[in-house]
Structure 1
Amino acid sequence: MMNAFQRYAVLSRQVLSSIFLIIAALVLTGCSISAPQAPVASQQADLLDNDSDGVINARDNCEGTPAGAVINNDGCSEEFEISARDDLHILFANDSSRIPASFIGEVNDLASFMKSFSSIVVELKGYASIIGEPDYNLTLSERRSKAVKSALIEQGIIPDRVRIVGYGEAEPVEAQTQEQSDILSRRVTASVKVSETDIVKKWTIYTTSPEDE
């Protein structure tokens, strides 16, 4: 007769044998005891966004939207017109091409304007009074234009963006007296007008308003 320990050992072997047979049956029948894999969705629609503006190609009516632009639901940016003008008028002493200190600010303002609109080219027009020989005054008017161009270059303007012209005694300024006319005629002038189209840009944490600059 088996004692209690022997009966427990026999029972344990029977249970283990049963478990082994069940596992073997599951393996042989191709059953899996692991969780089934999730189905893979098949994407049919085109969700690409080639210009990275947040609007997919399928409904983007404006390809190549500039980076950072505010766009509408059709992927199009908003534009606005910029119009600006700057005038330069420098008077010179008789028989001189040195820019008076009181007119340096005019040069600096024009340089700043040209830096803001990098596409513009300025034409400097030099003049002289009727005092002296016409040929000499023509050369003098050119020297005055060159002096202003050099001052602009010193402010960081590329030489190719500045053209000079000397008109000599041509186009004198009308005044009440000849002396006043001579004083006002010794000049260099320039008038620059620009119109550009820009885009409305998104606000970012790095954005600063003109008042903060």
Structure 2
Amino acid sequence: MKLKTSAIAVLAALPLMTAVASAAPTAAELQDRVYGSVFWEHYAPDNDKTKSLDWKGQNNGNGTGLNIGYRISESWGIRAEYVRQDLESEFSDADIKGNRVGMDLVYHVDSLPLYFVGGIKNYTTGRSASAANIGMGVNMFVTDEVALFVEANRYQGISKAFGDHGVKVGLTYNFGAAPAAEPAPAPEPAPVAAPVIGDADQDGVTDDKDQCANTPITDKVDTVGCSIFTENSVSIALNAQFDNDSSVVKEQYHADIEKLATFLKRFPNTDVEIGGHASNVGTPAYNLALSQRRADAIADVLVSNYGIERSRVKAVGYGITKPKAAGSSKAAHAINRRIEATVTASVKEAVQR
């Protein structure tokens, strides 16, 4: 409780220092710079120290010290500390004097004057000891190089059990100049206005270079304003199945056959092979003839119902030579009683923007 009021004072100073933070140098301007600090410290030993003969009854006292630090990055820094302590004694009128030295890692909070510290310290005040410390502080820059600071720490004993507190008030000077801002580039001379040439079909190629007038606005064009075409492969497949020992085309497949016919009419340079297949029931010779009848049945529908030239339709029976499903189950037989046909064509299509 000895330094509770002092710690609250550090936190209370934060809003005031935040208000002047806009006048402080930026974190980037402080990076890679060495700084030095001098400070006065009020130090409050653990109550157990005050009651201990081993610690010579250490009580509240003061100290003066200095830091030498280096800002590693915009957020992180390191520093070395030396403090000369002068503490009162509960058991004697003579003050207890000694030194505290150590190293700290410092984290600076972005856009705020607040920072946090943590480190290791060694003492010769009263007796030799070591401690880990953690604390927080605030900076208030009065110029680009000089800042006032307030910092509070707790010191937790390592080699000996104790918990001390300390509050520092001091002055920091940042050595070296902040990086100079790069000069603004000289303005470029104003370009000479070029004569305006129209683009009647709005394809991005001016009329003086456009060799293909009135190209569709949706088409991608080449350097002379003509549509760019690409060859794309398109295809359609027909799959139909038959009842056992039957070559009758089921009504449900007529819509698919019509789609195949439409495709053949769209691409008149294409032909189609109708492949007939049978299940492995009966003799191979019978199944070969049955598969041919099935292929012929589909071909007849294409020619008779949808007007496809007979010369473009080839019907081939494969019998049982190309089964789609292995085995002799009813399901396998049903799958293998089928027709398969695929037509592929190349189409020239304009590339879209």
Instruction: State whether TM-score is above 0.5.
Output: yes
Other structure's SS at 1:173 match: coil
> In 2 relative to 1, CA 74–171 (structure 1 residues): closer, same or farther, beyond 3 Å?
same
Provide the residue aligned with 2:347 in structure 1.
196
TM-score (norm 2): 0.35
Aligned runs of 1:1-213 on 2, under 5 Å?
74=224, 76-153=226-303, 154-174=305-325, 178-198=329-349
Q: Report the count of equivalent residues.
A: 139
Q: Which residue type is aligned with residue 292 of structure 2?
A: E
The structural deviation recorded for 1:197 is 1.9
Q: Which residue type is aligned with residue 319 of structure 2?
A: G
Q: Over the residues paired in the alignment, what is the CA RMSD in angstroms?
A: 2.8
Distance 2:328 2:223 in 1: 66
Does the 8 A contact of 1:173 with 1:184 survive in 2?
Answer: yes
Distance 2:341 2:306 in 1: 17
Provide the residue aligned with 2:78 in structure 1.
none
Give CA deviations for 1:50-89 in whole Å, capped at 9, x if unaligned: xxxxxxxxx998xxx9xx9768784745323333221110
Distance 1:146 1:111 in 2: 15
Does the 8 A contact of 1:69 with 1:199 survive in 2?
Answer: no
Distance 1:146 1:181 in 2: 23
Other structure's SS at 2:288 match: helix
Distance 2:287 2:328 in 1: 20
Distance 1:156 1:170 in 2: 31
Does the 8 A contact of 1:89 with 1:189 survive in 2?
Answer: yes
Distance 2:215 2:248 in 1: 46
Give CA deviations for 1:107-139 in whole Å, capped at 9, x if unaligned: 111111111211111111100111112111101
Provide the residue aligned with 1:205 in structure 2.
none
Does the 8 A contact of 1:69 with 1:78 survive in 2?
Answer: no
Q: Which residue type is aligned with residue 167 of structure 1?
A: Y
> In 2 relative to 1, CA 177–140 (structure 1 residues): closer, same or farther, beyond 3 Å?
closer
Distance 1:156 1:69 in 2: 36
Other structure's SS at 1:191 match: strand
The structural deviation recorded for 1:196 is 2.2
Q: Percent identity?
A: 36
> In 2 relative to 1, CA 121–69 (structure 1 residues): closer, same or farther, beyond 3 Å?
farther
The structure that is strand-richer by fraction is 2
